Structure 1
Amino acid sequence: MTPAEVGAAVDAAWHTVLERLEQLVRIETPSLDAAASASIARVLTEWFEPLASEVRAVVTEAGTHLVIEVPGSTDAAPLLLLGHSDTVWDHGALAGDVPWSVDGDVVRGPGVFDMKSGLVIMLAALEILRDRPRRAVRILVNCDEEVGSPTSQELVRTALDGVAGVIGFESPHPDGAFKVGRAGSTRLRLEVEGRAAHAALDPENGVSAIDELVDQLLVVRGIVAEASATTPVLCNVGTVSGGARANVVPDAASAEIGLRFVDAGSERHVLDALARLDPIRSGAVVRTVVLTSRPAWQAGAGDEELLEEVGRAASALGQSASGRPAAGAGDTNLVGSLGVATIDGFGPRGGGAHAVTEHLLLSSLRERIELLTALLAR
């Protein structure tokens, strides 16, 4: 398709694009709400079925994931388009702090930026190319990305079978640059068991879980500092809990810790060390429980080649396409870390993800639809 043809096709589809974006945003889909997930999955299935050879629903306790096969008319291996249908917003956000609104170029609403707009981009481009030569795609829409993809990580990896590369539809960098490489992210809970006793009458018979936890957190700090001497590791102790009364030696305490890694080496070093923590006090028990983990994805040659392919499509449209690593983690960590050619950030520009200021720019949404259309038509 010529740039003029792509632009005209997006013009013709624009009203439908906005209608569908609003419809998806108005289906509130907090993570782990299986009923809400089933509702949006039904709508997406209805929209994608006319284009697909298969729409497969994978129902889990977290909700409904979708795997969509859209055949192509060329011999090129398919691309995997990766997105999610869940949001960080609870029910009621639409009627409360984050109502749907359109003000010039700015659209607001819960999940409009992260990342229901990405799903609309996929659909619009494929509909424009319905009767035209195009590359085959596989689409995976999972329903638990915002909580670490606990039920879909293996599904994401399985979806890689036979694909030439992966495009993630999370938001780009603020300037519109793609995300090529992402920090690894692990969330874990440090659990300590002690032994209760009267804090005044027989404290020597107790083992304070809180004291043990405090000392273990200092050990964690030392492990992170050692790894950070060569590559920065971010560590945040997000919650601490334990104990019940001031006159009782506490028998349980825990802390939830968030870790971010730039490279796989520091990631392995820190996580291995935390898995081997030894009690400092006799009688204490220390456990490290990994809650969610996405490995560090460092950009490689395949990622750069895919970015160059996107760049050629962008150049033909008068757009630009650059890429650089991102601090945040997402499902593209799961595939990029395996060496599969991957880029992320194919969603529109905007801002305020996870905040009441969440919004996207319609001009950028249009550009991304044009770019995906041009890329799949190459």
Structure 2
Amino acid sequence: MIETARESIRVLFYMFTEDKAGTRVLQALTEAARRGVAVRLLLDEFGCGAIRPGFLEPLRDAGGTYSVFHPTLSRRYLIRNHQKMVVADGSRAIIGGANINEHYLTDEGPKHWRDLWLAVDGPAVEKLADYFDDIENWTVHPKPLVKKLRRIIARHSRGSGPIAWRFSGPIARSNPWPVQIVKDILSAKRLDIVAAYFSPSNAMLRRIGGVSERGGEARLVTASKSDNNATIAATRFTYGRLLKRGVRVFEYQPAKFHTKLYIADDAVHIGSANFDFRSLYLNLEMMLRVEDAQFARAMRDYVDGEIANSIEITPAIHKAKATLWRKTKWALSNFLVTTMDYTVTRRINLGQE
């Protein structure tokens, strides 16, 4: 996509590492800038904290630009720009959950991640490009007020129809993507949640369980492997309430799991948001909602394939595992991941069982 861009490239990632994959992507961006393409790179400081000073300078030297979402000692300190997107020429895009890192951008090796991207083209991409511009302008502003960020999120989430963008951020009420996914869950007869990080509120757990309780089918596919064992333990803390309400729970086995995909009847949500407190109510996240029966069937087939590579956590299996010690660790992990940043909880080792 970068190599074929003729006019512009907009790139936004939470994590962009200085490894083979990051170096290759940076070289492609730099070469694009040299041939006259307007290249703009936007990164999150927490996610890209391991990059050495000067790594990105070749892009700037070639005529491109890069900016970094910095935390400040204010309410903004807790916010992370967790979004992932590439927009070429304002008409083609890639969105999803993967970062620019050699273990994300491969399907091989013991450390590789399982993730999902979606290629998008057409009029919807122009709207995404406009959103990028506003987020970038807000990031580089000398006084980036949170209230202005909220207005950007709300303004770009107003679209309707079969294809619509829904963004989320530090908004206490009427947060666009959480409001939309709740609406879809409350009316759903079939619900598939594929989420690497899953630790929503009790109210959200009740809504998910309600799909099964009113005669529908609800499934959760989540991680058994990660670089953040606290998030796995936090997810397991929710199993008891879900299983009691008839939700089927699966843990993906072959690789570390990082996918974010949600299907409620014929509505499909794909993007950067996990199903946890930070993604639902605090981080900057982007999701594309596609309402189309054929596309929903195709993505449900994809979920079936993930389930074929998963172990089902039945009520009996969960009961056998849920010792007092484990439940205590699960509860503590759930508390930590709903209050701390991913980069902090990743360093906490409570052990995984």
**TM-score higher than 0.5:** no
Structure with more relative contact order (C-alpha pairs < 8 Å, separation 6 or more): 1
**TM-score normalized with structure 2 length:** 0.29
Give 1 or 2 for the bigger CA radius of gyration: 1
**TM-score normalized with structure 1 length:** 0.28
